[in-house]
Amino acid sequence: MLLLALVATASTSGASLYRIRSGDTLSGIAHHFHMSLHRLVAFNHLPGAGTTIYAGAYLHIPTGAPRATSYGGSRGGGAATAARSRTVVSTYIVKPGDTLIGVAARFRASARRIAAYSHLPRSLMIVIGQRLRIPRDVRVSGGTSASSATGTGGAYQMSGPAPSQATVAAVLRATARRWHIDPRLVLAIGWQESGFNQRWVSPTGAIGAMQVEPYTGDFVSRYVVGRPLNLRKISDNATAGVALLAVLLRETRGNAGQAVAGYYQGLASVQSRGMYADTKRYVANVLALRNRF
């Protein structure tokens, strides 16, 4: 039996709030609250034709739906067909020149979660020699998790109109210039990642032209750009990807190859383990594409 804790709190809008956890599915949540999937999707105005939910986000549950403390079922049906994940915590010792944002970028982790796990002060200051605890969620079983598109099991495209490739390229180019990054490098990453397809969503939930994971978008919005980012909008998607690249270029002292590898593999992994074979191919492709733009 797979049991997932249910977190529902009272809301002032005549509904309860349910916090989506890794492994949740829309059908499983709807079944638990004894409501139709259509009603749940319509009540929350979900994106992607109602096919997309993300761990950490909230769903509104209409007043009158039961509020139990847990739900579950046997593997192979209902809510329990989803994947599970566990949090793995590693330790990193702060080095000269490190910043919280830089460390988070290297590990492709959430700066907010690092701060919480490491009990950092409100200033988020870190000091040389300090031990940081780096939490990351790791999948431990197969299935469709809440961090990717529910009801699919693979990559898919968001519904609705999409900007043309020319529009995407123009936005990426303009965003790169605002962040003082070579536009050709940004265009190369955008093409390698998605072919300038803003509607593309990967099997892991990476969104849009720059294929930004939701947790990466959250960290960039909070700690780099200082405003909310909607990864489904091409302007914000470009900002998230380019801002992350800017952090990686700073962390690698302008080494484009290392920064691109960090974008794909995670900079901490690149620096501690070297580039994997697929990372080397990715970097070679991006640097070759850069010369074509």
pTM of the model: 0.52
Looking at the structure, do residues 200 and 166 belong to the same domain, yes or no?
A: yes
> Where residue 67 sits, what CATH number does that domain have?
3.10.350.10
Looking at the structure, do residues 197 and 253 belong to the same domain, yes or no?
A: yes
Structural domain total, the chain: 3
Q: Strand pairing of 2-5 and 8-10?
A: unpaired
Give rounded-to-5 percent helix, strand, coil for the chain. 40, 15, 40
Looking at the structure, do residues 169 and 267 belong to the same domain, yes or no?
A: yes
* Range among 211-225, 235-249, 265-279 rated most confident: 235-249
Whether the pLDDT of residue 18 is over 80: the answer is: no
Residue 226 in domain: yes
> How far is the CA of 127 from the CAs of 93, 113, 265, in angstroms?
9, 18, 26
CB 70 within 8 A of CB 192: no
pLDDT value of residue 169: 95
Going by C-beta distance under 8 Å and a sequence separation of 6 or more, which residues neighbour residue 79? 2, 4, 24, 25, 27, 28, 29, 31, 32, 71, 72, 73
The residue behind tokens 């907010």 is 112
Looking at the structure, do residues 105 and 161 belong to the same domain, yes or no?
A: no
Nearest-angstrom CA–CA distance, 200 and 63: 35
Half-sphere CA count of 21, side-chain side, radius 13 A: 20
**Confidence label for 10 from pLDDT (cuts 50, 70 and 90):** very low
pLDDT value of residue 9: 35
Residue 186 in domain: yes
Q: What is the pLDDT of residues 60-90, one digit of tens each?
A: 777 655 443 333 332 233 333 334 556 778 8
